[in-house]
Amino acid sequence: MNSQNLPNTEGGVFAQISQLDHEQVVYCHDPESGLKAIVAIHNTVLGPAAGGTRMWAYDNEQQALRDVLRLSRGMTYKNAISGLNIGGGKAVIIGDARTQKTEALFRSFGKFIEGLNGKYITAEDVGITTQDIEHVAMSTKYVAGKPEYMGGSGDPSPVTAYGVYMGMKAAAKKAYGSDSLSGKKIALQGVGHVGEYLLEYLIKENMDIYVSDFYEDRVKEICNKYKVNGVEKDKIYDLDVDIYAPCALGATVNDDTLKRLKCDIIAGAANNQLEDEQIHANLCREKNILYAPDFLINGGGIINVYYEIIGNYNRERAYKHAEKIYDYTFKLFEQAEQHAINTHEAALRMAKARIEAIGKLKARL
């Protein structure tokens, strides 16, 4: 999320976990397999904590802790605002995903997850593949995002893209009075899994599309395949477009880019788009840029995983749920306007209100 909302790494572990209101943090260590992992359970009011596992070669343990605390908190709000009955959690495995993966490591990780008795359900995140998930699933039943041949929900990216598309249309409705994207000019940053699926929806709307990617050959491939315009990665912020869709990295909405962006709408799939949640959400508001909160409109992936968690997975049901992102987003814009607050703050309030209401209800029943 941002410097302001990140846990202060100066204090001890307890100081850090209490700063963002975490319930529990579990360190998992297995010298035999080389496993070093941290599981962060942020909030379980709505149900068991759910969120993916990230494998990353962190420079140090503090960095890993900081990441898992921030990501798990994000999952609490994403799951709550998406109307799911799961809480927020996340895990990180400290290690290089290209060189340090073994079956034993993931089976060992699965044993730790099993030991939490269902308080945390894991899935894929950066650095983790469905093959790794298969290995985790050999040691625990508390894992989702399994491949389709194992009865799982498979790749969540298409559903994520659909949700982002719904959120973008709701933003267009609010900004232009119509949710048609036809003729609008868009800068799509990152044509990876989600970016490409999103692009397919945008093409059907007859948009004027500009794409960038970290890899030039990927841009070429996409431009040839879809007949869209390629742009150098650092020039994407300078285009005169109606919509900026960040689908690559976090923190691309910051002091520098907000000086350059000329769009009316920011709506994309990337997590943690605002470098500083409050400062940059306020700046968007001041500049009359309608920011569609990332953790609301990119919820399609966890919605897809949720239907696997509750059993009898049905992709159609996941898409139906992701379609509701349109209504959720539009309602959120109305609330932000009504209360004269930025859209990120409005989304946080919406998520917290649901957690509080359902928490009270559960206490009564």
Touching ligand NAD, residues 144-203 (CB under 6 A): 156-157, 160, 189-195
Instruction: Give min distance, CB of 301 to ligand NAD, in A.
Output: 3
Cross-strand partners of 229: 210
Q: Which residue is nearest to ligand NAD (CB)?
A: 192
Instruction: Give min distance, CB of 196 to ligand NAD, in A.
Output: 8
Cα separations in angstroms, 199 against 236, 241, 279? 16, 16, 30
Compute the distance between CA of residue 232 and CA of residue 211 in angstroms, rounded to an integer.
9
Of the residues 61, 103, 214, 255, which one makes contact with ligand NAD according to CB under 6 A = 214
Cβ-based neighbour number of residue 5 at 10 Å? 16
Of the residues 23, 67, 205, 213, which one makes contact with ligand NAD according to CB under 6 A = 213
Instruction: Give min distance, CB of 40 to ligand NAD, in A.
Output: 17
Q: Is 233 in the site for ligand NAD (CB under 6 A)?
A: yes
Instruction: Give min distance, CB of 32 to ligand NAD, in A.
Output: 31
Nearer to ligand NAD, 27 or 214 (CB): 214
Instruction: Give min distance, CB of 191 to ligand NAD, in A.
Output: 6
Compute the distance between CA of residue 13 and CA of residue 153 in angstroms, rounded to an integer.
35
| Kind and range of the H or E run holding 319 | helix 315-323
Nearer to ligand NAD, 23 or 124 (CB): 124
Three-state DSSP class for residue 57: coil
Q: Is 301 in the site for ligand NAD (CB under 6 A)?
A: yes
Measuring CA to CA, which residue among 13, 116, 117, 103 is closest to residue 66?
A: 13
Cα separations in angstroms, 156 against 86, 194, 281, 294? 17, 9, 27, 16
Any catalytic annotation for residue 331?
Answer: no
Q: Is 82 in the site for ligand NAD (CB under 6 A)?
A: no
Q: Is 215 in the site for ligand NAD (CB under 6 A)?
A: yes
Active-site residue, from 36, 90, 101, 119: 90
Write down the residue that tokens 């100066």 correspond to.
10
Q: Is 269 in the site for ligand NAD (CB under 6 A)?
A: yes
* Number of shown-chain residues binding ligand NAD (CB under 6 A): 24
Nearer to ligand NAD, 17 or 269 (CB): 269
Instruction: Give min distance, CB of 294 to ligand NAD, in A.
Output: 8
Burial class (CB in 10 A: 0-12, 13-18, 19+), 21: exposed
Nearer to ligand NAD, 17 or 81 (CB): 81
Compute the distance between CA of residue 51 and CA of residue 89 in angstroms, rounded to an integer.
5
One-letter amino acid for residue 12 of the chain: G
Of the residues 218, 285, 321, 354, which one makes contact with ligand NAD according to CB under 6 A = 218
Write down the residue that tokens 């008795």 correspond to.
117
Q: Is residue 156 within 8 Å of residue 300, measured between CB atoms?
A: yes
Measuring CA to CA, which residue among 276, 269, 215, 223 is closest to residue 246?
A: 269
Which residues are annotated as catalytic?
A: 90
Q: Which residues bind ligand NAD (CB under 6 A)?
A: 156-157, 160, 189-195, 212-215, 218, 233, 247-249, 269-271, 298, 301
